[in-house]
Structure 1
């Protein structure tokens, strides 16, 4: 189907979708979740095509991890949809209502955005998540995935549409643009006559291209140069556990730790222990001078020197999506915060500390969507936050910030009731 036709069909459905009752939406979502599980074999076969193609093309390990589906991940996708079905329906919610002296009743209620466009890379889970959240909020969604996951995306959208048909709902409430060319992507970004908002999900290059080229309003989901700051009062065992989780549980995700900041008073004692633990996971540490020397200070520490290098300035601002970690040594909480605010991408930052004052200062002064004390950055996720799923993690400050659930996919309108009033 031609791009223009897809967009026109989507726009025509917005009125119908905005008035669907809650029960109809929830039953359809449950049907879609069950359908994905039933169609798992077909989806996994399609995904295997994408994975094999990715390996052949030299796709990095972190991106392959994002691309790959298995039975457990399909079950998780389905569970996310079920959780969305269980959430309160925000559409039609009256936010306030008041009576003016002239008798007018002025109210404000929550409404869908309309047509939501998603441009994303090799993340087939986004296909299901985006549909569920948009459908629950009465929006129509147009998906533009990358060529790396095209077989997976076609299979998932086919399964969703089959379930919608069973529920006697129009299949076009979710559409996939199957042409993966840059020319079509560029044309899609300019469909502001039909598409109300555009959400990019992917690497820095994709997000920058959408922000720079789109004539449609964009909700920017940013890259994740996420930091862990180990304060001088930190419990070493807790800090190492948090860092290992944040860095190595899944390396190719935007909430993985890419940068470490350590207080200089503990660097000599902490770095050899940390690096030894990281090297068990084959993490390459790119350390500044102080942390580099501290790591090598113990002669018999068994450090693999090939996994320890000196950091360049560029390392501190790099989202690796790989088994790599930059390290910066600082003299104070103030210096740590200044370093993080300079190099972070506004995503997720954490402090490991036993000092209440330092924790509060970190929470108050670090400029990011999600700021943690004594916890892994990996929790920045719509599923973990209880949103059922997420449309993305916004690193901008207008409209939405952080994991975007149902509320981020709504707007509002004023509803005014009168009995013949005219303005004098």
Structure 2
């Protein structure tokens, strides 16, 4: 029996137990896990240091190292996310609506777990905890397959999770990790239809595309983040500058970071010198169109590839546009339907942008960096879905459930 088949069988058995667990007991287990993560900080950081050392030897760039790095503060944040999930309402068993049909049957629609969820992800070890606790809270078992770059960190985190769940009376196999990080094993996981109910990839465009092409298990597509900020002609310069610097430079390696700045031609000459100066102060490389290059010196001329690239790095493409229609057209052509923002004081322009931009999250006068389950009040997220079926945007608890119909009768038969 293969490792994956065994894990699949164990996960199926664990999922049955989880599906029947009461909210109070699950919440107590999550509170205990939060404490356990803090208690095991030293062990987790030692494992993370091994991954960081290997990544540095392999020449991984700084922005990607930041995705990988754990600190005592980040572990506290992760533990806080676990506690917040424990405080959220449990969706399992909720009857969202109920009605009677002509036959006087009482029909209800009830939230139920998906079952066993497979997660394939890269780099960020916090995903290990986010995915595990969200799946656990919603009665789903999970099989995790992280990237080789976070191997030791992920093993350490899963060890803490499994031990903590077992101490709380739950099957440790509710959360499992695939220790073989080879491509072949990943592709076997993508075809584990007998045990997986859904597969969620989280990572680079290449990873997500590979899963979409290879998987036979149903996939929820989480998106790459080619996100834009559009500065309208009626934007305030101080607000626009603050938003784009935050959206690009606060954490450029994450999927909600801005990759392209679009700016209205009416304010480009006035705004760009100051904006670019502040971006460069944050070590951001600028790639601009010809008009941008004519306004500010030492700009690398952007190519078609720049408009469609998620850099995940200290690089920003800038394009001057003729107006809101041109900005919307550019975003809908090159965006990945993740997060888009407009900076404007014109209400009607903002409403046009909100209605016409095709993305999971659309902002008016705020940074794209807020597209995050924790920031949205979900406690954590399993990914940002950019598809339109089942779930869209940050995937919290409700998005990890399915439904079934429950029907009450009094002896009715269909004529």
TM-score, structure 1 length as denominator? 0.96
Q: Aligned to 1:266, what secondary structure does the other structure show?
A: helix
Q: Which runs of 4+ in 1 moved over 4 A?
A: none
Q: Residue 355 of structure 1 aligns with which residue?
A: 346
Which stretches in structure 2 are left out of the alignment for 5+ residues?
Answer: none
Shift, 1:275, TM fit: 1.2
Which deviates more from structure 2 when the two are superposed, residues 247-256 or residues 96-105? 96-105
Q: Does 1:417 align with 2:397?
A: no
Among 282, 307, 317, the residue aligned to 2:308: 317
- The residue that corresponds to 2:334 in the other structure is 343
The answer to whether residue 325 in structure 2 is matched with residue 334 in structure 1 is: yes
1:70 aligns with 2:71: yes
Paired with 1:177 and 1:148, the residues of 2 have a C-alpha distance of 14
2-structure distance, mates of 1:277, 1:161:
46
What residue in structure 2 maps to residue 176 of structure 1?
A: 177
User: Whole-Å Cα distance in 1 between the matches of residues 271 and 161 of structure 2?
Assistant: 50
Distance 1:44 1:67 in 2: 11
Alignment partners' CA distance in 2, 1:260 and 1:368: 16
Separation (CA, whole Å) in 1 of partners of 2:108 and 2:224: 38
Partner of 1:374: 365
Counterpart in the other structure of 2:236: 235
Q: Which residue in 2 is equivalent to 1:301?
A: none
Match status 1:260 vs 2:261 = yes
For residue 101 of structure 1, report the CA deviation from its aligned partner: 3.2
Equivalents in 2 of 1:102, 1:284: separation in Å? 67
Q: Give the match for residue 135 of structure 2.
A: 134
Partner of 2:402: helix, strand, or coil? strand
Structure 2 residue 99 is the aligned partner of structure 1 residue 108: no
The structural deviation recorded for 1:108 is 1.1
What's 2:197 paired with?
Answer: 196
Q: CA deviation at 1:261?
A: 0.2
- 2:376 aligned residue: 385
Shift of 1:151: 0.2
Q: Secondary structure at the match of 1:229?
A: strand
Give 1:102 deviation, angstroms: 2.5
Instruction: For 1:44 and 1:29, locate their aligned partners in 2 and report how far apart those are by CA, in whole Å.
Output: 21
Distance 1:30 1:404 in 2: 21
- TM-score using structure 2 length: 0.98
CA RMSD of aligned residues (A): 0.9
Partner of 2:275: 274
1:11-26 alignment to 2 at 5 Å?
A: 11-26=12-27
Q: Residues 21-80 of structure 1: CA distance to partner in whole angstroms, max 9, x if unpaired?
A: 011000000011110000000000000000110111111222111110000110010000
Are residues 1:244 and 2:235 paired? no
- Can you give the 5+ residue segments of structure 1 that lack an aligned partner in the other structure? 297-304
Q: Which whole-Å CA distance do the structure 1 matches of 2:279 and 2:249 have between them? A: 9
Q: Deviations over 1:342-394 (max 9, x none)?
A: 11000001011111111111111011000001100000000000000000000
Query: How big is each residue's C-alpha offset from its partner over 1:252-277, in whole Å with a ceiling of 9 and x where there is no partner?
Result: 00000100001111111111111111
Query: What's the offset of the Cα at 1:15?
Result: 2.0
Provide the residue aligned with 1:40 in structure 2. Answer: 41
Partner Cα distance (2:47, 2:17) in 1: 32
In the TM superposition, residue 421 of structure 1 has moved relative to its aligned partner by 2.1
Distance, in Å, in 2 between the alignment partners of 1:195 and 1:396 is: 20
**Residue 168 of structure 2: aligned partner:** 167
d(CA) in 2 for partners of 1:229 and 1:101? 52
- Alpha-carbon distance in 2 for matches of 1:399, 1:381: 18
SS of 1:108's equivalent? strand
**Aligned partners of 1:212 and 1:374: how far apart in 2?**
37
> Which residue in 1 is equivalent to 2:394?
403
In 2, the alpha carbon distance for the partners of 1:96 and 1:357 equals: 36
Aligned length: 414
